[in-house]
Structure 1
Amino acid sequence: MVQNIMKRNNVHIRGKGKKPLIFAAGFGCDQTVWNDVFPAFEEDYQIILFDYVGFGNSDITAFDLMKYGELSGYVQDLLDVCEALDLKDAVFVGHSVSSMIGLLASLSKPEYFSQMIMIAPSPSYVNDPPAYYGGFEMKDLLNLMDLMEKNYIGWANAFSITLLNNTAKAGVAKNLEDRFCSTDPLFANTFAKACFFTDNRKEITKATVPSLILQCTEDVIAPRVVGEYLHEHMPNSKITYMNAIGHCPHMSDPEETILVIKNYLLEQSVPLIGEGVGNING
């Protein structure tokens, strides 16, 4: 079972420390998006990198349209990895939709996690006036899905530019576009629907694990008002406003991302050598 999960989710373990630190990529991406961030933590933590089924070097034969048509399928991937490694009190770093995946996993198995670090998170992308502004009208998201299905390459180009929202980072936008284009459109489309049409506003109020919200500047996907809504409604949360522009600071501004994560962990008095030891031998 353990070896199956390790292969299925392409799990890699690095680092010299004992305290587990899990990095989870956002929509359409794989673990390599963390390449400029995770090395800064290798000296002090046990780094855990993985791919959701359908992305990166995961076992795509394990993809199930029904399972991964809901966010719960990706939550189960994360829980399976934690169980396979026998993790306890791990620090979880999730980008974008992975922030909510981590939150849902922590509601199911809080013992796996000690802190949640949410980079550009959103509990719901759809506007629900007057109580909530998520950044998108439903018709806009439906049009996005329609473009995805009819012209995937065109969608990948447009969406990557929207994500970065920073002409100075054209190389990073191209990197994102290449990642989207290297993914099977069926997998990307299935994950997109699970991501963009899920409303987790009720779930965030049940959070028990302390969390940090990293709010980027001029983030079209997760605007400032969304981060502030999360902070207001999620217990034990803290919000930090980043100088990084756009939705992917771990790729566009890795130095600032590393700094704010380290500062938070120091404030939380998270020991560099923790007690949560993963069983990597199965």
Structure 2
Amino acid sequence: MGVLQRNRVNIVGDPDGPVVMLAHGFGCDQNMWRLIVPRLAARHRLVLFDYVGAGGSDPSAWSEERYSSLDGYARDVVEICEELDLRDVAFVGHSVSSMIGVLAARAAPERIGALVMITPSPCYIDQGGYRGGFSREDIDELLASLDANYLGWSSAMAPVIMGNPDRPELGEELTESFCSTDPAMARVFAEATFLSDNRDDLSRVDVPTLVVDCAQDALAPREVGTFVHDHIAGSRQVTLDANGHCPHLSDPDATADAVLDFLDHRR
């Protein structure tokens, strides 16, 4: 199976517009971008895809060896760019995909020309003076709970990650997305995500970068967004007056505004 089929690649929008790649986070797929796609597609060529192990990707292409680190997911990104011969791509990554974008840009600098990081975290674990939001014990418990009862873990964690308890349909959608993911593949991606530490990679980013964080986010506190911004030279930071870790679902207009303004002025 070819790369485009492997990752269920879809291309929409202005065929002559600048290329924007949208990369989903853990437990999600490309459908999570649907609320901002129409606005971005009006002026850009959008490349949507699912990481191997997520959504409608080819499960036979998954291997624990490749996808036990974020580098494996970055290889998916680079291989899609190579297959389509994309250059100067604006890579929009949600959550862990923000760091995957950093790795992809370093591996193929001719392919990635800008980064948009939506609720990024380079490290989820508190270390020294760095506050990632969780202790190592918290993460170990999270992974143990996922191992013991993935569906139960998904039902409990997704609403916390989504926030917006007054809009339960958002948490229900994320729960459904989590529950549709193969538990074994999700476990490997979760460990690669929550045990990663990409703080040192931030100083190597040399493309225009936008950091988008939220006023309230249980998974990536505002201090984390500020840390990312402070450690990427020349980056811009926009803090949305939004609740939760998925503003492209909970506040799509504000998210699209931030992304489009950056894309219009990134040079």
TM-score (norm 2): 0.97
1:193-272, aligned counterparts within 5 Å? Answer: 193-269=191-267
Show the counterpart of 2:181.
183
Show the counterpart of 2:169.
171
Show the counterpart of 1:53.
52
Q: How far has the Cα of 1:43 moved from its partner?
A: 2.1
Q: How far has the Cα of 1:244 moved from its partner?
A: 1.2
Q: How far has the Cα of 1:111 moved from its partner?
A: 1.4
Give 1:44's aligned amino acid: R
Show the counterpart of 2:34.
35
Distance in 1 between residues matched to 2:91 and 2:166, nearest whole Å:
30
Give 1:71's aligned amino acid: L
Give 1:56's aligned amino acid: G
Runs in 1 of length 4+ with deviation above 3 angstroms? none
Show the counterpart of 2:139.
141
Q: How far has the Cα of 1:267 moved from its partner?
A: 2.6
> Which segments of 5 or more consecutive residues in structure 1 lack a partner in the other structure?
270-282
Q: How far has the Cα of 1:169 moved from its partner?
A: 2.2
| Preserved contact between residue 107 and residue 208 of structure 1 (Cα < 8 Å) | no
Show the counterpart of 1:73.
72
Deviations, residues 154-193 of structure 1 (Å, cap 9, x unaligned) = 1001111111222122101000000011111001110000
TM-score (norm 1): 0.92
Give 1:160's aligned amino acid: A
- The one of the two structures with greater contact order (alpha-carbon pairs below 8 A, sep at least 6) is 1
Aligned residues: 266
> Which segments of 5 or more consecutive residues in structure 2 lack a partner in the other structure?
none
| Preserved contact between residue 202 and residue 228 of structure 2 (Cα < 8 Å) | yes
Counting aligned pairs with the same residue, the percent is 40
| Preserved contact between residue 110 and residue 208 of structure 1 (Cα < 8 Å) | no
Q: Does 1:106 align with 2:105?
A: yes
C-alpha RMSD of the superposition: 1.0
Distance in 1 between residues matched to 2:266 and 2:71, nearest whole Å:
29
Give 1:241's aligned amino acid: T
